[in-house]
Chain A
Amino acid sequence: MRVLRFILKKEFRQIFRDKTILAMMLVMPTVQLIILPLAMNFDVKNVNVAVVDNDHSTWSQQLINKIGASGYFRIIAAAPSFREALGYIEREQADVVLEIPPGFERNLVRENEQHIGVSVDAINGTKAALGGSYLLAVIADFNQHIRLNEHGKYVPGKGVNIGITYSNWYNPLAEYRFYVVPAVMVLLLTLIAGFLSALNIVREKEMGTIEQINVTPIKKWQFILGKLIPFWVVGMVVFTLALTVARVVYGIWPVGSFALLYLFAAVYLVALLGFGLLVSTYTDSQLQAMFVAFFFVMIFMLMSGLFTAVDSMPGWAQDIAALTPVTHFVKVVRMVVLKGSTFADVQKEFCYLVAFAVVLNSWAIWNYRKTS
């Protein structure tokens, strides 16, 4: 125990002497939490529409006005032909082309039916899918409207729809920031714990100081704990800072208990630090460690449901997602922050994280060799 105290003192001294790391500890959470949620805005706005109106009738004009007034679209051009309108998409000026065929109004009145063309630039998948479906919703609404106007009275089977009323639970206005801010908090802890610990031991290897450590009677667990504890403390400070920023900037205050959040953050940090230590026992230079850690952290991030829903991944991908600690932590943070889930609700995730912490750290201790 006494030896561990000497090791901790040395580690803390080294951390606090490194001004860059200190600055990053404070600046990273603040800046990332302020900038990233703005960039990770999943609402689709400003969909640029090029319109080809071959009808020039009252109704086609009404439809165009309605689309323009919806707030999601910008009518950027009225092109005389589809070919020219497509030119706007090719030049990346438009996202969607709406083509109204000749005889639009006449057919609607006479035949009670008319098709119109919607072409979407699908390079930006999210924008295309959401923009396209918004447009369809607007058109459907228009459709409904003209039918009712025409008949002016209730006719069974026509102009009738089942109306749907939404209510978004736990995030009433379906605001993206409630979804993204907890994710960014997770991202922060992952970066801090995963990278700092991986780089730290490898740096001792590069400097040659690890050899001096290996020739002392320091026990393996003392050395590993000596590395774990300081970064764990740093991680907890960053987490606290992140919660503060979420409160001050976004007004997000966890609905659930703080104790529960901190409990999970504590276990999660141990798991991720174990991951970092493990990487450092397999690599010999900071460059290698950085690459290996980056490779895994990248997979962790993209597979974890931080940005996309794990449920919509293919089965095998969901299995991989379950094998990354980030998945479980991000789920819990969202549940506790937005929904106020209690320990009973997240027991399973807790077990997962404890398992990750135990396995990764034991592996790291096992693989760290004082004698090669």
Chain B
Amino acid sequence: MNDDKVIVCEELTKQFGDFVAVNHISFDVRKGEIFGFLGANGAGKTTAMRILCGLSYPSSGKATVAGFDVYKQQESIKKNIGYMSQKFSLYENLTVTENIEFFGGVYGLSRPEIRKRSDRLVSKLGLTQEAKKLVGSLPLGWKQKLAFSVAIFHDPQIVFLDEPTGGVDPITRRQFWDMIYEAAATGITVFVTTHYMDEAEYCNRITVMVDGKVEALDTPGNLKARYQAASMDEVFYQLARGAKRSAD
């Protein structure tokens, strides 16, 4: 296997009864890249991501994440990835530092290490004042930034972000992408789903999923050239227009 490929997918399929949520998708993701996963609601992005995170069994096909098999080695995968779900999923009734401590702890970091990194993180996010506040009381934008920071707190090889900027204002979204770039610069591979096309432009390479299939996979520039489009928006319209599935 190629060393710089951290995710390899071959003909990966997930079927729920008659419904094929993910239909024979194949792609690979290289180390350190920001890989965008685009698609309309219900296109199968989240399902595919959940398989890669070891949260869901595929129906058929092959895939490895960080060199581990998605059928048999989910627990090894989980040690090497970070995950931020669509739904905010830090504990609202714990404080900022308590959340950091908990997630750091379950990934096996030592107490002094957690304390050191936690202090650094809190001051970097500008949350020093709020460190002792319950996470539930923070504004959404701050919560999302915190959730992302917690997802990469244990220095995973890959971080999976499922629509991380949903419902967040443009300024915070911009800051969020700055954080993503920063993480990528330290060598963390970023796998991100989104349906904001401006965000797609920030990715190194993007995949467009339509009705469970990969319709296109390339850099934003190449895609725009191929579809003779001025923006990713147009590329997406051209590809997604034929979609049969209605949004869920």
Contact = CB atoms under 8 A, between A and B. Distances in A.
A3 B108 contact: yes
A216 B103 contact: yes
Interface in A12-45: 13-14, 17-18
A207 B101 CA distance: 19
B132 interface: no
Interface string A191-217: 000000000000000011101111111
A371 B57 contact: yes
B74 interface: yes
Interface string B50-86: 0001111100000000000000001100110101010
B181 interface: no
Given A3-B105, A10-B102, A215-B81, A370 B74 contact: yes
Nearest to A211: B85
Contact of B93 (A2, A3, A14): A14
B93 A215 contact: no
Interface residues of B, number: 28
B98 interface: yes
A7 B83 contact: no
B87 interface: yes
A218 B106 contact: yes
Contact of B54 (A5, A7, A215): A215
Contacts, number: 81
A17 B102 CA distance: 16
Contact of A372 (B57, B81, B107): B57
A125 B172 CA distance: 69
Interface string B116-131: 0000000000000000
Nearest to B71: A371
Main secondary structure of the interface of A (DSSP, over half): helix
A13 B57 contact: no
B99 to A, nearest CB: 9
B199 interface: no
Interface of A: 2-3, 5-7, 9-10, 13-14, 17-18, 207-209, 211-219, 370-372
17 contacts: A6-B105, A7-B105, A10-B91, A10-B94, A17-B93, A17-B94, A209-B91, A212-B90, A212-B103, A213-B106, A215-B55, A216-B103, A217-B78, A217-B79, A370-B54, A371-B56, A372-B56
